Structure formats: structure tokens, C-alpha cells
Amino acid sequence: MRKTAPWRTVLTTAAAVTGAVSALALTAAPAQAAPAKPTSLYAPSALVLTIADGESAATTAPQRAVTLNCMPAPSGTHPAAEEACAQLRASGGNLEALAKPAEETYCTKEWRPVVVTAQGVWEGQRVNYEHVFANSCMKRATEASVFAF
């Protein structure tokens, strides 16, 4: 049997320990954030609503914008968040149904278009809505607080 010098045994052991530590360091994954846990049992419902003068949201700049969060509780910068959320729930999230004017509407027939948009999420579904009213009187005639801001 061949004898090994004591300094070789020490170097071999040191190399083995260094290799093991390096292997552990390489296999350790960097810390990652845990997936977001839902804060509610309900799907998210949060919209950004805008109003602008013009025929298309693509060609006009919003004059006013508000946020409307309906889950877990009505909130946001919308002036009547609770009522707007209640109307959206009652319509099943159908913004077009809320854009219809009331039965007895008396407005001039001038064409000064006002465009409203709603973008975001309603009950977990993506929303990208745009509607053009003939004028601001027709927008007010909807009686929907969703568009009253």
C-alpha cells in the first residue's frame, strides 16, 4: 500500500469541503416572493372611468378620470362609489345598459359628443368599454351614477 503525505490528505479534505460548500451555494435558489394570496373570496372589480369631449377616446384627452373599486367594499375616487357599484351589480356589469337615457329625456339635438370609457376588471373579467353620447345632456339623462363624475 502506498503512503500519502499528510499535507496531501489535508488538501484533499479541504478541496472536498470547499466543493461541497460551493455546490450547496449554487443549488440554493434566490429568495422569491410568495404568490399573492387573495384578500377576498370575490373576484376583483376595479375600474378607471374617464370623460372627454369628442367622438373617440383615442383622439381626445380625458378631462376627468376616477377610480371605482367595488370589491371587497365600494371605494375609490368616484364621488358616488357605493351607488355606482350597486348599479353595476344590478346590471350584471353591463355598462351599455347603464348608458341608455331615461324614458322622458328632454335634451337639445346638438352634436357636441362626449365620450366615456371604463377600463379595468369587473368580477374577474377584463373590461375595455367606450361609449359616445351626443352631448353632455344625454350623458346626464342616463341617471346612472357610474357616469356621473
* DSSP of 41-93: SSPP-EEEEEEEESS-GGGS--SEEEEEE-SSS-BSS-TTHHHHHHHHHHTTT
Q: Is residue 69 assigned to a domain?
A: yes
Tell me what pLDDT residue 24 has. 44
The residue that leads in pLDDT, 127 or 101, is 127
The residue that leads in pLDDT, 37 or 11, is 37
The residue that leads in pLDDT, 4 or 48, is 48
Q: Is residue 3 assigned to a domain?
A: no
Tell me how far CA of residue 24 lies from CA of 12, 28, 30, in angstroms: 18, 6, 12
pLDDT tens per residue, range 88-106: 999 999 999 999 888 888 8
Q: Is residue 17 assigned to a domain?
A: no
The residue that leads in pLDDT, 148 or 13, is 148
* CATH assignment of the domain containing 111: 3.30.350.10
Q: What mean pLDDT value characterizes the chain?
A: 82
Q: Is residue 22 assigned to a domain?
A: no
For 5, half-sphere exposure in the C-beta direction (CA atoms, 13 angstrom radius) is 3
Q: Is residue 36 assigned to a domain?
A: no
Is it the case that residue 11 has pLDDT exceeding 50?
A: no
Q: Is residue 19 assigned to a domain?
A: no
- Which of 101, 97, 100 is CA-nearest to residue 88? 97
Q: Is residue 126 assigned to a domain?
A: yes
Neighbouring CB atoms inside 10 A of 27's CB total: 7
**Total domains, the chain:** 1
Domain that residue 96 falls in = 46-147
Percent of all residues in the chain with a pLDDT value above 70, rounded to a whole number: 72
Q: Is residue 23 assigned to a domain?
A: no
Is it the case that residue 117 has pLDDT exceeding 90?
A: yes
The residue that leads in pLDDT, 24 or 114, is 114
The residue that leads in pLDDT, 50 or 29, is 50
